[in-house]
Structure 1
Amino acid sequence: MVLKLYADPHARGASAIVAMVLAEKQIPFELIQIDLEQGEHKKPDFVQKHPFGQVPVIDDNGFILYESRAISRYLAEKYPEQGTRLIPVDPKKKALFEQAASIEFANFHPRAVRIIDEKFRKPSHGQPVDQDAVVEAVAELSATLNVYEDILGRHKFVAGDELTLADLFHVAVAPMFAASPEIAMGPNTARWWNDVISRPTWIKLAAEGIKSTETY
C-alpha cells in the first residue's frame, strides 16, 4: 500500500519538509489534502491521527506517525540506500548531523516562527502586526544567521559537506525568506541557502505545490 501523507498542499511549513524528504528519497505517496482554513486538522477524525491537530501526518501501511522531524528521520532510516542519503552512517558525521539538527530546532526555528507569526499569520487572521516585534525578531534571526555564516564558511552544508535532513528542515520557512528581504545573509549562508532551494525537488514543490506522486 502506498504511503499516505496528510498535509497542507502548499509548499510551506512542516508539510514542505516531509514533502521534500519524500521527493529526495524518491518515495511514492498519496496526498490526503487537509484544508487548514476550514479547520479540517481540528476535526475529531484527524485528531485521532495527530492529537494536537496539526499537519503533517503519515500513514505507512497502518503505521501512523506525526511531527515532521520524526517523520523525516523515519523515512531516511527506512530507505537509507534509496535516493539521497540524508542521515550519515559514520558515527562522527551522524553526531555532527544531530548537532546541526538541534541548532536548527533550538536556535533557528523559534526565531523564524516569531517573524512568520507577526508578518504572515496575524495579517491572515485580521490581526494588527506589531512592527517593533518584527524588528526585534529579524534582529534575533540575523544574529543566528551570523553564526551560520561562520559554520558555513567551514563546510558546504550545516552538518558537513553533504546534504542532510538538517538542511532540509530549514525549507519550512522558505516562503518567508522569499518575502522578507530585510533578513540579511552573509555570502556563505546565501550560497548554502541557494544550494538548498535550487535543488530540483524544491523547485518542483515550490512551483506545483504538494501532490500525489508515483515517481520523482
Structure 2
Amino acid sequence: MVIKIYGHAIAPTVRLVAEVCNEKEIQYELVPVAVYKGEHKTPAFKQFQPFGQVPYIDDDGFILYESRAICRYLAKKYEGQGTPTLIPKDAKGEALFEQAASIEAFNFYPFASGLAFEKIIKKHQGMETDEVKVKVLLDNLNAKLDAYEVILGEQPYLAGEDVTLADLFHLPYGTIAIEELGYNVLENRPNVARWWKAISSRQAWQDVKNGA
C-alpha cells in the first residue's frame, strides 16, 4: 500500500513526513498541492485538513493531518521495518522521547520556523522582513542551543543513545536556518555540531531535503 502525502514538495513539514517514510521504508506518493496559488485554502482541500495547512496523508482511506502526529502514526504502524528506534516502546524510553519531542516543539521550532517566516515566507508574500524580530528569534535560538549543548554532551541524541523522531523533527527548519540562511549556530557548540551532522547526513533526509 502506498501512502499518499498531500502537499507542496518543498514545504518543510511535507519533507519531514517524506523523510520518516524513507526511514521506515514506506512507499509514498506525493500529491501536489499548489500552496503558492492558495489551493490549500480551498473548500476542497479543507474538507480533509480544516486548518488549510499541508500536509495531510491518506493511508488507504485513513486521513490524518499535523506532521508530528503523522510521523508518530507511521513510526508505530510500521515499527517492524526500517529504522527501529524512532519511538521507544518501553515506558522510560518513550517518556524520554516525549521529553525530547517537547524540547523541539517549544525550544527550537518557534525560533527556527520564525526565522524562516521572516526571511523567506515574507518575501514570497511581498512583505518586508522585520530585522529586529529576526535578531530576537536568533538570540532566543542561540540561548536554547546552549541547553542543547549540555544535553548532547551527555548522550548522542536528544532522547538518549538512539535517534528518534524528536531528533528528526529538527531537520526541515534546522536545514533552513543553518544551511539555507547560513546562521552559524553550530560554532562553539561541538556537541550540537556533532549531533546535527549525524541527523542531517542521514540518507533518508538527503533523499528529500530538496523536495519530497
TM-score between both structures, scaled by the size of structure 1: 0.92
Offset of 1:17 from its aligned partner?
1.3
Aligned position for 2:190 = 187
**CA separation in 2, counterparts of 1:181 and 1:60?**
37
**CA separation in 1, counterparts of 2:209 and 2:130?**
29
Offset of 1:172 from its aligned partner?
2.1
How big is each residue's C-alpha offset from its partner over 1:155-201, in whole Å with a ceiling of 9 and x where there is no partner? Answer: 11111110100011111211232123334221100110111110111
**CA separation in 1, counterparts of 2:183 and 2:30?**
34
| Residue aligned with 1:156, SS | coil
Q: Do the aligned partners of residues 28 and 182 (structure 1) sit closer, same or farther apart at CA in structure 2, a change above 3 Å counting?
A: closer
Aligned position for 1:56 = 55
| Residue aligned with 2:99, SS | helix
Matching residue's letter, 1:182: Y
Aligned position for 1:145 = 145
Does the CA-based 8 Å contact 2:178-2:185 persist in structure 1? no
User: Unaligned 5+ residue runs, structure 1?
Assistant: 211-216
Offset of 1:134 from its aligned partner?
0.9
Are 1:113 and 2:113 matched, yes or no? yes
Aligned position for 1:134 = 134
How big is each residue's C-alpha offset from its partner over 1:20-66, in whole Å with a ceiling of 9 and x where there is no partner? Answer: 10000000111101111111111111100100011110001111000
| Residue aligned with 2:6, SS | strand
Q: Do the aligned partners of residues 115 and 133 (structure 1) sit closer, same or farther apart at CA in structure 2, a change above 3 Å counting?
A: same
Matching residue's letter, 2:125: H
Are 1:160 and 2:178 matched, yes or no? no
Are 1:71 and 2:74 matched, yes or no? no
User: Unaligned 5+ residue runs, structure 2?
Assistant: none
Match of 2:208 among 205, 209, 212: 205
| Residue aligned with 2:129, SS | coil
Offset of 1:135 from its aligned partner?
1.1
Which structure has the higher relative contact order (CA within 8 Å, separation 6+)? 1
TM-score between both structures, scaled by the size of structure 2: 0.94
| Mean CA deviation greater in 48-57 or 122-131 | 122-131
How large is the RMSD of aligned CA atoms in angstroms?
1.2
Count of matched residue positions in the alignment of Structure 1 and Structure 2:
208
